[in-house]
Amino acid sequence: MRELITAGKGERLFLLGNEAIVRGALESSVAFVSAYPGTPSSEIIDTFYELRKEAGLRVEYAVNEKVSVETAAAAAISGIRSLVAMKHVGLNVAADAFMTLAYVGVRAGMVIVSADDPSLHSSQNEQDNRFYARMALVPLLEPATPQEAYSMTKAAFKLSEKFSVPCLLRTTTRVSHTRGVVMFESKPAEIKPATGLFKKDPMKYVVVPMVGRQLRLKLLDKWKAMEEESSGSELNFVEGDGSWGIVTSGVSYLYVLDALEELELIGKVKVAKLGMTSPFPSGFIGGFLEEVNKLLVVEELEPYIEEHVRGVAHKVGWKGVVCGKDVIPRAFELNVPIVKRAIARSFDVNVGEKKIFAVPELPARPPNLCPGCPHRATYYSVKKVFGDDAIYPTDIGCYTLGLLPPLKMADFLICMGSSVSTAGGFSVVQDKPVVAFIGDSTFFHAGIPGLINAVANDHRILLVVLDNSTTAMTGHQPHPGVSMTKEGRCEPKVPLENVIGACRVKKLEVVNPLNVRRAIKTFEVLRQELIDEPGVYVVVSRSPCPLLERRVTRKKQMVYFVVDDSCDGCGRCIDELACPAFVREDGLVSINRLLCIGCTVCAQICDSIKPVKIKKK
């Protein structure tokens, strides 16, 4: 991705929205970047990290989004432009810092990228983070394309510095993960070594109530100025002609354009495209209302724009009709057919239904834990010992896929770190054993307070930390406890055992899940101890992610496994382990040689499975 640094003015690249943001930030002399990975934002931190040396900037993988905002805020307050990026739920984690940072403000520009996920492609909810800008009283930009992601990143830094507040840049999956042509307006700025300066000013930076009250009033003044900026911003513009109006933002704008094209309404409808939506550009919309007599708001998720538009309409005494969530769905992403139908309904236009081919009922192809994934082995052993009787709070990561049958080792999940704390809650209000699963990265992110809380409040749980030495699902990013990164083996900076031990749990065991007999024995002993001496027990189930290990060590696979002819077709391997490499055929089971990575677990649970050495070429 070196071209993000080297490509000059006028050059055009085919970039992901996320990559375009990186280039926009580089052109803005960003010098400090911090993020916790999260789909659909992860490419931002990963790309910055890859370019850090050449671009001369400080890039940090943060333990969670709250600390990323805090560290970046310190940089911005010291005059160093900073950027943080997160998925939408990450802003929930960062909200405490974010809300009061708006009071304190920044000196150099600080951009907070929130990559939302309508349709929950890879998230536990689909919240509309535009409301965060409204609540914190900061500016918000909504790019619709990778080109806009690039240019609005630059605009965001300028806005942030103009008003001395962080600026929110809000994308969605269909902007962050869309690849489009981006033309660069200038060369990336010269890299200046970090020469920050913190000017002491406790009456501005230490927010005790007396200070907070002053800052609150200052922020409200700024808000007024920002409202004027928004209403006059070039990022909000009108195209087209006619007495019908559509107000839209983000990727929905593209659906509107395509829909108008198909309905042959291009040039017959005025489209107000909003790029800066916080503060809401009331003046701009007030002017727009004078030009139209019917209006449709096309936006994904909540009626954020719509409610503002209705407010403006009421204020200026507009007599026209506003359509919005009555014809546009509130749940999930939009697309051209949905927007087309909504436009047709709102403006009473013929839509001409297309014939759609029905899809027959077909076998599903859901994602699954990889063949050889150590999490599968851990789940197998825990299930052997605790069965279906225990409650299994789980957490967010690859291992959440353990919820799939036949493993079915997940019972409750709401957010990062919820496994530990909900486990504790379950353990004190009912009598079934409680075994919680959390990943290594998730543990550092949000599991530690829950664990300390469990010890302090005498909860009775077994916490299994699934340690595959990486943040796998999002692309193998590192965390403080890893002993392996994409760059090679390393010493953990903050070993898991040290942290867990310091929490004074009753017992900490470390097991290798690929050694099934040992693992089962360990869990059996702990199951009894949980009964005899209730308290907080922790097992670190440690084995590196095979995908990462293979890539880093380049170790060649030595064996694969086959089912010999003593197989009686009992199917226990599939019912209890369900490695995707198993194939049930003609009443017997075989192993797909191409999928088997040779983890040995299946051979440990069935005598009919034998290793075959891979001959060296």
Residues of this chain that interact with another protein (CB under 8 A) are 12-14, 16, 39-40, 121-122, 145-146, 173-174, 177-181, 251, 254-255, 257-258, 261, 333, 335-338, 354-360, 362-370, 398, 401, 473-474, 547, 574, 578, 580, 582-584, 592
Question: Judged by CB, which is closer to another protein: 31, or 259?
Answer: 259
Question: Judged by CB, which is closer to another protein: 199, or 584?
Answer: 584
Shortest Cβ 427–another protein spacing (Å):
31
Question: Judged by CB, which is closer to another protein: 269, or 313?
Answer: 269
Question: Judged by CB, which is closer to another protein: 328, or 463?
Answer: 328
Shortest Cβ 466–another protein spacing (Å):
15
Shortest Cβ 408–another protein spacing (Å):
14
Shortest Cβ 373–another protein spacing (Å):
9
Burial classification of residue 119, based on how many CB atoms lie within 10 Å of its CB (0-12 exposed, 13-18 middle, 19 or more buried): middle
Shortest Cβ 180–another protein spacing (Å):
4
Burial classification of residue 337, based on how many CB atoms lie within 10 Å of its CB (0-12 exposed, 13-18 middle, 19 or more buried): middle
Shortest Cβ 222–another protein spacing (Å):
35
Shortest Cβ 304–another protein spacing (Å):
21
**Cβ partners under 8 Å of residue 148, min gap 6:** 175, 275
How do beta strands 294-298 and 321-323 pair? parallel
Question: Judged by CB, which is closer to another protein: 121, or 187?
Answer: 121
The token duo for 189 is 């700025």
Shortest Cβ 447–another protein spacing (Å):
22
Report the C-alpha gap between 134 and 229 in whole angstroms: 15
- Cα–Cα separations (whole angstroms), residue 344 to 253, 318, 331: 16, 22, 20
The token duo for 339 is 């927007």
Shortest Cβ 596–another protein spacing (Å):
13
Question: Judged by CB, which is closer to another protein: 194, or 574?
Answer: 574
Torsion angle of C-alpha atoms 50, 51, 53, 59, degrees rounded to 10: -70
Shortest Cβ 576–another protein spacing (Å):
12
Question: Judged by CB, which is closer to another protein: 174, or 222?
Answer: 174
Contact in structure between 524 and 531 (CB atoms under 8 Å): no
How many alpha carbons fall within 13 Å on the CB side of residue 214? Answer: 11
Neighbours of 320 (CB within 10 A): 13
Is 498 in a helix, a strand, or coil?
helix
The token duo for 565 is 């002819």
Element (H, E) at 161: helix 146-163
Give the position of tokens 């009626």.
Answer: 303
Contact in structure between 70 and 30 (CB atoms under 8 Å): no
CB contact burial 278-292 (16+ within 10 A = b; e otherwise): bbbbbebbbebbeeb
Element (H, E) at 230: helix 209-231
Question: Judged by CB, which is closer to another protein: 43, or 161?
Answer: 43
Shortest Cβ 146–another protein spacing (Å):
8
Contact in structure between 86 and 171 (CB atoms under 8 Å): no
Report whether the peptide linkage leading into residue 279 is cis, meaning its omega lies within 30 degrees of zero: yes
The token duo for 394 is 């789980």
**Residue 110 amino acid letter:** M
Among 136, 170, 174, 144, smallest CA distance to 156 is for 170
Length of the chain: 617
Question: Judged by CB, which is closer to another protein: 53, or 355?
Answer: 355
Shortest Cβ 181–another protein spacing (Å):
6
Give the position of tokens 């200038």.
Answer: 186
Shortest Cβ 567–another protein spacing (Å):
14
Q: Left (φ > 0), alpha (ψ -120 to 50) or beta: where does 485 sit?
A: beta
Query: Nearest 5°: phi and psi at 393?
Result: -65, 140
Shortest Cβ 233–another protein spacing (Å):
22
Question: Judged by CB, which is closer to another protein: 278, or 477?
Answer: 477
Question: Judged by CB, which is closer to another protein: 254, or 514?
Answer: 254
Question: Judged by CB, which is closer to another protein: 333, or 440?
Answer: 333
Question: Judged by CB, which is closer to another protein: 159, or 271?
Answer: 271
Report whether the peptide linkage leading into residue 40 is cis, meaning its omega lies within 30 degrees of zero: yes
Shortest Cβ 603–another protein spacing (Å):
18
Neighbours of 319 (CB within 10 A): 8
Question: Judged by CB, which is closer to another protein: 322, or 601?
Answer: 601
Taking CA 238 as the corner, what is the angle to CA 334 and CA 335, rounded to the nearest 5 degrees?
A: 10
Question: Judged by CB, which is closer to another protein: 39, or 469?
Answer: 39
Is 404 in a helix, a strand, or coil?
coil
Shortest Cβ 614–another protein spacing (Å):
18
For 398-552, strand residue ranges (E) read 435-439, 461-467, 484-485, 488-489, 507-511, 536-542
**Residue 188 amino acid letter:** P
Question: Judged by CB, which is closer to another protein: 104, or 259?
Answer: 259
